[in-house]
Amino acid sequence: MARLVAFMFEMHQPRRTRPLSPRALLDRMREGPRASYDSQLDAQVFGRVTSRCYAPASRILSAAASRGFAFSFSPSGVWIEQAREHAREVLQELRRSVEAGAEPIAQPYYHGVSPLLSDLDEMEQQLEAQADAVESEFGVRPRAAEATEMLYNDEIGRAMRRAGFGLALTEGAERVLGWRSPNYLYMSRAGIPILMRNYRLSDDVAFRFSERSWDQYPLTAEKYASWIAASPGDVVFVAMDIETFGEHHWRETGILDFLEALPRALEDAGVEAVGVSEAARRLTPADYVDVPPWDTISWADVEKDPSAWAGSEEQARALALYEEVGSYARAVGGELLVHWRYLGMSDNFYYMSTKRGPSGAVHDYFSPYKDPLAAYTSYLHSLLSLYADVLRAYSSGVERYAPRLRTPPRLSFVVRSPEGDSLLRTLDDLRRCLLECPSAMAGHLNGDLQSWVRHVFLWDRLAEELEAASRARDPVRAALSALGRLVPAK
C-alpha cells in the first residue's frame, strides 16, 4: 500500500485577447499589439479568484507547510506576472511555504503550445525563463518540470533533460501504462524519471467534490486519506488546479475546510506527504515507459492527448499559422517575440475546441466566447495583426534578421538527391548543402531556390545574387560566393 503522497497544485491565469469587434480592430490599429489584450477582464478575474481561492488556499497551505506538510506547486510565468500586479500577499504566503519545504515546479513560462511545435527549443527556453522567475520570486530553482497541461512524449522528456531537470511529470494514461499502476516512479526511454498522475484520485477532488449525485458524496478528508492509504504502489501523485479550492468548488461546499483538514487526516492514516522531487529521490523506478511523439499524452479531457488544443481543423490551422509567425518573431526578437508568446497560451487554442460531451462541457465552462468559431476568428484577428507587425520589422532589417530565421517544416526547402532528401530550414542549411551535395543543388538553382529565398526569407537581394550565380560557369561555387558576401559564416 502507498505510504507516500505527492500533491501538486497548478497555477495559471491567461492574458485574454479581446473578442473581434470594430472597436477592438481600431484600437489595435492605433495602439499596437498591447491593445489585443483585455487587461481589465484579466484584472477582474484575477481579483475575484484571489479572494475566493488564491488568498485562502495559500494561507491554508502555508500554515500546513509550517507544520511539516510538503507539497509542490507549478506557477506559470504569466500567473507570477499577474500575482505581482494584483496579489502580492499570495506570493508572500507561497514564499513562506517554500521556506518551510514546499517545492515549486517548472513549466513553460507562457503555459503555451510550445510542446506541440515542431521544434522544442522554444519550450526549453520557456522552461528556463519560468525557472528564472521562480528562483527570483521564491529563492529556489525548480528541479522537476511539466510541459503545459502535462503534455508529454519522449522527445519532450529529452528536452526537459537537456534543460537540466531531473524529473518529468505527466498523466497516468492507461494507453501508456497498460496493466500497470500510476502509483510508481517510472523511467522514460528519454533517460528522465517520470511521475505519473493518479487521475482518478485527483479528479475525485477536482471534479467530483461537490457533485451531490456522486455515490461517494460527501467527500471528507478522512475518507480521502483512507483511499490514498489503501492504494497499491509506492506513491500517489495527485495534481489539480489550485482553483479547485474556492473557485471551481465554492467555499460553501466545504472545499477549503477539506483542504485544511487533509494534512492531519493523511498523518492519521499513516501517509507521508512529500514533494515530487523527494518522492523521486526516495524511490527506484519500477519499469520503463515509452511515449512516442505520435502518442503524446496530456491530462486534458477524457482523451488525455493533445486534442484539447489541436483536435479540430480550426485549431490545427491556427497552430500552423502560429508556428509560422513565430519563425519570424523569433528572428526579430524583442517585444514582438513577447507578444507572440502571449498569443501562444494554450487557453487561446482550448477555447476553439469543437468537442461535445463531457470534454466539451469543460471547454465551454472556461471559454469567454459564445462559441468556438468566435474564439477562432478573434484569435486569427490578433495573430494576423501581430504577423503584419512582425513582417514590417523583419523586412526593415532583412539582412540582419534573415540569417536568424529558421522556417517551420512546411515552409522549408526539400533537396532531392541520390543520397536521400535534405530539409533546408536556414541559410546555414543552404550553405551546408551547397558544400555537401553540389550536384543536387545545381539543379535547384534553376529558380526554385531563388523563389524560396524571395518568398520565405523575403530577401530580394540574395535572391537576385543567386539568380546571377545560376548563369555562372560554376553555379554552385558562385552561389556559395554570394552567400559568403551577404551571410558571413558563423
For residue 157, CA distances in Å to 19, 117, 123, 221, 431 come to: 36, 15, 11, 34, 32
How many whole angstroms separate alpha carbon 330 and alpha carbon 136?
Answer: 25
Q: Which amino acid does the sequence have at 448?
A: D
CA–chain centroid gap for 112, Å, is 4
Q: Is 324 annotated as catalytic?
A: no
Question: In terms of DSSP H, where are the helices of 144-237?
Answer: 154-162, 174-177, 199-206, 221-230
SS3 content of the chain, % helix, strand, coil (to 5): 55, 10, 30
How many whole angstroms separate alpha carbon 23 and alpha carbon 46?
Answer: 24
Q: Are 164 and 125 in contact (CB under 8 A)?
A: no
**SS3 state of residue 145:** strand
Q: Maximum CA pair distance of the chain?
A: 85
How many whole angstroms separate alpha carbon 73 and alpha carbon 381?
Answer: 34
User: Residue 297, Cβ neighbours under 10 Å: how many?
Assistant: 24
Q: Are 189 and 216 in contact (CB under 8 A)?
A: no
**By C-alpha distance, which of 330, 339, 323, 376 is closest to 32?**
339
User: Residue 160, Cβ neighbours under 10 Å: how many?
Assistant: 29
How many whole angstroms separate alpha carbon 150 and alpha carbon 8?
Answer: 12
Question: In terms of DSSP H, where are the helices of 333-474?
Answer: 334-343, 346-350, 357-366, 372-396, 398-401, 427-436, 438-444, 448-455, 460-469
User: Residue 312, Cβ neighbours under 10 Å: how many?
Assistant: 17
Q: How would you classify the pairing of strands 185-188 and 193-197? A: antiparallel
Q: Are 310 and 79 in contact (CB under 8 A)?
A: no
Residue tagged active-site, from 146, 149, 278, 467: 149
Residue with cell 519563425: 327
Catalytic sites, residue numbers:
149
